A and B are shown apart, each in its own frame.
Chain A
Amino acid sequence: MKERGRAKMKKAIVMDPKDNVATLLTDVNKNDVVQVSTGEKLTELRVQEKIQFGHKFAVKRIDKGENVVKYGEVIGQATQDIDEGHHVHVHNVESLRGRGDLQ
């Protein structure tokens, strides 16, 4: 049973070891344990909310104002503290580019 459970494991991918977010390759529910691959390395992490396929979650705590990093590069800035396992998206990250609204 345990082996079958493992085969069905929810999966996510970290694009670069410097990243603080992972991209989900399946839908997840709160408290699901997700297998996270960073290159060849596999780790497990519990997500803290329901998040849909293709969306991101924090693989470590991200403080408000801290850079959100994917592909080893900055993809935006956290607008609030984001705890490990939480959804990272437009509600808590803002883009730093093309912001004519900030002039």
Chain B
Amino acid sequence: MGFQGYRRSNGSIGIRNIVAIVACTGCINEIPRIISQGIPGTIPLGHNLSCSHLGSDLERSMWTLANLAGNPNVYGVVLVGMGCEQMRPEKIYEDIIQFEKPVELFTLRDIGDWNEVVEKGKNAAQRMARQAAALRREGAEFGEMTLGIKCGGSDTTSGVVSNPVAGFVADRIIREGGTVIFTETPEILGAEHVLAKRAVNKEVAARVLEAAETMERRVKEMGVDLRGSEPTPANIQGGLTTIEEKSLGAIIKAGNAPLQGVLSYGQRPSAKGLYFMDGPARTGELLVGVAAAGCQLTIFSMGGGLPSLLPMLPAAPARFPVMPVIKMSGNPDGHEKRRDIIDIYVGTVVEGEETIQQAGERLLSEVIDVASGRKQTQFEGGTYEEPLLIQIDGPSL
């Protein structure tokens, strides 16, 4: 079983075919936007990091940008930089080269004039967009898929319906040799022991426990009760009482496969199977992190309530063109109002019309259709663009 995608030089398979115009530093987010204007198939990727950040935040932003540009959905990359930034444009360039895709770097330092940077950038983008448009899809197997799974706008139906349905698909992709990545460290608090038991070895188990412990310590250092933020007021309204309950329901989305490893934010898995990424649950940072990890597609498993009535994703850029996101809801309450803003409805399980397995097969078909380009997700239709959010731990200077 499989899907249709674009075969890349390094053997990976893209399910979209975009040319990314990437800013090395957030100081120049406007430049990719200008370069991309009027060139179909190109997307500008600015972000929130600059020399105003320190140490590990800068390092993380560099590997995240390189890995994001390396995403199989990206055909080629136009990289633009100041030349004075802490993010070292040449290092990012060298890292993108490893993915064996077309990449060109233009810096103000080397070219000396912004208009010329834009002109050279536009020429490169146009050339790459033409090459990308000449590619045709070919057959690919689930073993070549890396699927992201996130939950959000959660309520108690998430753990009963939509997360088990997502877990069904996760198990299937992994059984066929593929990779599944889930994340959201705050949402394993209270469930970390369950995940640790599924780890393939003691080191992986220890890393899961350490991720949860570090997150909890940071919350405690702020001297606050996590409640009100985890679970959120909307979660509580939906019936979720504690973070433990939310977490135990949340990890169901990752299915039942053994846990192969724990990834740092934005880093690539070294093998196939199920991986946990130590990172934030906030949608904006999360989507960038899992796309950098190589996910071609992400499933967003939702409950009901106000967040599920948003035409965009809660706490996310309205458009994140690197990777399609399939929105799924399993809450029958208010489904009529959500009909046009979610991609797949599985509240049928609550209504007794379908089993988890049947809904899971339906979600799998949706994954195949979206991956093969036969269907665009609701999220892909968004138009508002804002800089990408990359995880930041330290101070903004």
Q: Which residues of A contact B (CB under 8 A)?
A: 13, 15, 23-25, 52-56, 68, 70-71, 73-76, 88-90, 93-103
Contact = CB atoms under 8 A, between A and B. Distances in A.
Given A73-B191, A75-B190, A89-B239, A97 B350 contact: no
Given A56-B239, A100-B219, 4 more contacts: A23-B156, A24-B239, A100-B223, A101-B225
B243 A98 contact: yes
B224 interface: yes
B244 interface: yes
A35 to B, nearest CB: 11
Nearest to B249: A71
B100 interface: no
Interface string B61-82: 0000000000000000000000
Interface of B: 155-157, 159-160, 186, 189-191, 194, 216, 219-227, 230, 236, 238-239, 241-245, 248-249, 303-304, 331, 333, 350
Nearest to A74: B244
Contacts of A75: 190, 241-242, 244-245, 248
A98 B189 contact: yes
B239 A95 contact: no
Nearest to A71: B248
A32 to B, nearest CB: 17
Most-contacted residue by chain A among B190, B245, B249, B303 (CB, 10 A)? B245
Contact of A98 (B156, B219, B239, B304): B219
Contact of A99 (B225, B241, B249, B304): B225
Contact of B225 (A25, A54, A93, A100): A100
30 contacts: A15-B159, A23-B239, A25-B160, A25-B350, A52-B239, A55-B156, A56-B156, A70-B245, A74-B244, A75-B248, A76-B241, A76-B244, A93-B241, A93-B242, A95-B190, A95-B225, A95-B244, A96-B190, A96-B242, A97-B216, A97-B243, A97-B244, A98-B189, A98-B227, A98-B230, A100-B223, A100-B224, A100-B226, A101-B224, A103-B223
B236 A90 contact: yes
A15 B160 contact: yes
A13 B160 CA distance: 8
A1 to B, nearest CB: 21
Q: Which 7 residue pairs are nearest across A and B when measured between Cβ atoms?
A: A98-B226, A95-B242, A54-B239, A75-B245, A100-B220, A101-B225, A55-B239
Contacts of B189: 97-98
Contacts of A74: 190, 244
Contacts of B333: 53-54
Contacts of A24: 239
A11 B157 CA distance: 13
Nearest to B224: A100
B238 A71 contact: no
Contact of A101 (B157, B190, B223, B241): B223
Nearest to B352: A11
Contacts of B220: 98-100, 103
A98 B221 CA distance: 10
A25 B157 CA distance: 8
A53 B333 CA distance: 8
A81 B223 CA distance: 28
Contacts of A100: 219-226
A100 B387 CA distance: 32
A81 B241 CA distance: 16
The residue in B224, B230, B239, B303 that gathers the most chain A C-beta atoms within 10 A of its C-beta is B239
Contacts of A56: 156, 239, 241
